[in-house]
Structure 1
């Protein structure tokens, strides 16, 4: 049974707030501190750690990112977003679960910094090396890369169509549509880079060191001129968009008996 109390509602909103911090800092660091963004995702958390009250912010992100991950897992298990149970619906729900896994990993990284344990810096490579060491591990990584290509296309589609607005309150600022469009298109570019790194590692014998995480993917674009600049700006705008979602996103309610809800759109 999913806890659909007001506490759960607020935890999800803290999750969007945490995502806002993450992407805003990612874009800002990419534009202002190339050496730090070269450290990948750890560089983002190290930048937050250096801010005033940085440790407190990191603890908020630990809770928020974990809560957002739980929200996404609920989409897979309980269909709280009313995606449906046909092939397209299950595709969306599995995609939400993938988002949940990614944000849970980010929550763990934030925890490492908040608890003074420090980031590992190579967690993704270690995980990829473990997968490559088992039979058909390369195929698994390659297929995951193809899934990221599909996710990139979906991000671009959302940005162009504006379909994300259906689940945002009409009281949201007028600029929300354009903030979301820029943000989703930028995320599409990042997902393409991550997907290509997985395809290289899995299908082209590129090795685990080819894997790109969120920060690594942005850093790899640093030599691409305006593509890098536009992507970094788009990610900053996605951070602002996530801040709007923290306030105006419509959180779906479960039915009285934990069944599929009637979405409050």
Structure 2
């Protein structure tokens, strides 16, 4: 190999290393930011379950809680920047593929692109809230009803909402099943954990993932009902979905159980930020 080829190879390896370092940093920041949001939503839901119903257990409620803390504005900006990191990480996966043998598949890349768009929207809403020019994306309940009403008003809107809702239900079930099967092990650097830490991560991964799946499936079921009955007011966002658990025959304790799982998922996100392979 001549000197010119060696120099070119060195530059390429340097770019890959730099890109890998940036991607790892963006992923860790994004997963940490997601953990903060889920942790706060879970805590707010726990407070509702224990009788303090004057809180909104969704992203807007979490942002409002942060804003009331000392240096709340700084914390909100840090959260928004972290979510930008999540979007950058997912964009990198869409462009270059993710880790794993099937990381370059088209389906994986399209999923990563969809996640990139979602987290870019969430980051923008958080930063808008931090700047005082937005409401954090608005109440999840209002958003769900508004979007459902607009889509139902479109040609074949009932079918569109129904198919999308069924997809959310299936996604929720799949999230829960994958968590119980501990499929997340495929993405973790298990060798870097002690046995005790691995057990703790499994508690958060299984419990948190199962609770997240249950909430997704329940929200999808409400959207499906809204489509079948052609009533957008039947759709529920995260806050109303969580409150619904308290109205079941199991009472507030079911909400407390699910909310505890949401807290666990927030903690699991922190574990992913530390040990996930990127």
Using the size of structure 1 for normalisation, the TM-score is 0.81
1:127-164 deviation per Cα after TM superposition (whole angstroms, max 9, x unaligned): 33332222122222211111111111211112211110
CA distance in 1, matches of 2:152, 2:159: 9
**Highest relative contact order (Cα 8 Å, sep 6+), 1 or 2?**
1
- What's the counterpart of residue 9 of structure 1? 24
- 2: CA distance between counterparts of 1:85 and 1:243? 23
**Contact 2:179 2:210 (C-alpha < 8 Å) held by counterparts:** yes
1:36 equivalent among 36, 40, 55: 55
Question: Could you tell me which of 124, 131, 134 is aligned with 1:115?
Answer: 131
Retained in 1: the 8 A contact 2:152–2:230?
Answer: no
- In structure 2, the residue matched to 1:260 is none
Q: Distance in 2 between matches of 1:212 and 1:232?
A: 17
Match of 1:196 among 221, 231, 252: 221
Task: Please give the secondary structure, in 2, of the residue aligned with 1:36.
Answer: coil
Using the TM superposition, give the Cα deviation of residue 101 of structure 1 relative to its aligned residue in structure 2, in angstroms: 4.4
Match of 2:177 in 1: 157
CA contact (8 A) 1:84 1:90 kept: no
Matched, 1:231 2:258: yes
CA pair 41-65 structure 1, distance change in 2 beyond 3 A: same
With over 3 angstroms needed to count, the CA separation of the structure-2 counterparts of 1:158 and 1:44, relative to structure 1, is same
Aligned partners of 2:209, 2:163: CA distance in 1, in Å? 22
Aligned to 2:207: 182
- Name structure 2 gaps, 5 residues minimum: 1-14
Structure 1 residue 52 displacement after superposition: 2.3
| Distance change (3 Å), C-alpha of 1:125 and 1:66 | farther
CA RMSD of the aligned region, Å?
Answer: 2.7
Paired residue for 1:254?
Answer: none
Does the C-alpha gap of structure 1 residues 45 and 130 become closer, same or farther in structure 2, counting only changes over 3 Å?
A: same
Looking at structure 1, the residues matched to 268 and 143 of structure 2 have their Cα atoms a distance apart, in angstroms, of 28
Alignment length, in residue pairs?
247
Check conservation: 2:23, 2:88, Cα contact below 8 A.
Answer: no
The question of whether the paired residues in 2 share the 8 Å contact of 1:83 and 1:92 is answered with no
Q: Which moved more, 1:73-82 or 1:119-128?
A: 73-82
Structure 1, unaligned runs of 5 or more = 252-265
User: Matched residue of 2:32: which SS?
Assistant: helix
Structure 1 or 2, whichever has the larger Rg, is 2
The CA deviation at 1:66 is 3.0
